[in-house]
Chains A and B, each alone.
Chain A
């Protein structure tokens, strides 16, 4: 696999995990406010 693709996938995966954690912490509770 080309190194560029590896780098892209790795960072995008990190971004997705960050999004998911952010949503779990701040996103879910908004309905209750």
Chain B
């Protein structure tokens, strides 16, 4: 074999190695960065800021979004960019959301700002979860009869949302070990996901993420705040982007 072709073969083998490594660890690596960024933001009380990373293609560029004053945006960006592994940070242009606001908040399903019906689906689901809260007992991922009935309604609402992605987010209160809390929130989100799949929602449409106690709704650690923080949120997104890039609507209580 000539030395030129040896080098080319070596380069090709290296490239394949890079590809395999990327496929095996890339997503986990970015998810880890995302989790870390969320934890850092929550630790500084910037819970209104949401952070995500580009997934297609995967990149180390963090995209922040949320309704914050400019000074808080600057702080959030400097917090995230300081995390080792994050290459750059940008603030998501929220044209679609702003356009909807400019239209007077009454924009129904198929307006220019909501071509996929994302907002409509999100609103439908929000109405259900605001009226009846999905709640869990402390330390439990058990779905009560009441929760199952709420899930029936949510599944019915999601039937009209074919092709949209649904992210189920599990949250816990801040009692106990944070690693255990994260596992618990993941288990709760997984249970909800499984229940929705049982009710006829396509598995490919749903993702389940557990955030542990990193994104509390209520400050403090009294029983009322804890109950408020143990919750499930649903985020609907367009088919291409993941749900996190789109309208955020936490559960009401």
Specify which chain B residues have a CB less than 8 angstroms from the CB of A15 in the assembled complex: 10-11, 14
From residue B1, how far is it (CB to closest CB) to chain A in Å? 15
From residue B32, how far is it (CB to closest CB) to chain A in Å? 12
Beyond the given A3-B29, A3-B30, A7-B19, could you list 10 further A-B residue pairs with CB under 8 A, ordered by the A residue number? A1-B59, A5-B57, A6-B60, A7-B18, A10-B18, A11-B17, A12-B14, A12-B15, A15-B14, A19-B10
Using known A-B contacts A15-B10, A19-B7, A19-B10, determine if residue A3 contacts B18 with beta carbons closer than 8 Å.
Answer: no
The chain A residues found within 8 Å of chain B, CB to CB, are 1-8, 10-12, 14-15, 19
Whole-angstrom distance between the alpha carbons of A12 and B18 in the complex?
9
B176 at the A interface (CB under 8 A): no
Query: Would you call B7 and A8 a contact (CB within 8 A)?
Result: no
B130 at the A interface (CB under 8 A): no
B101 at the A interface (CB under 8 A): no
Specify which chain A residues have a CB less than 8 angstroms from the CB of B18 in the assembled complex: 4, 7-8, 10-12
Specify which chain A residues have a CB less than 8 angstroms from the CB of B29 in the assembled complex: 3
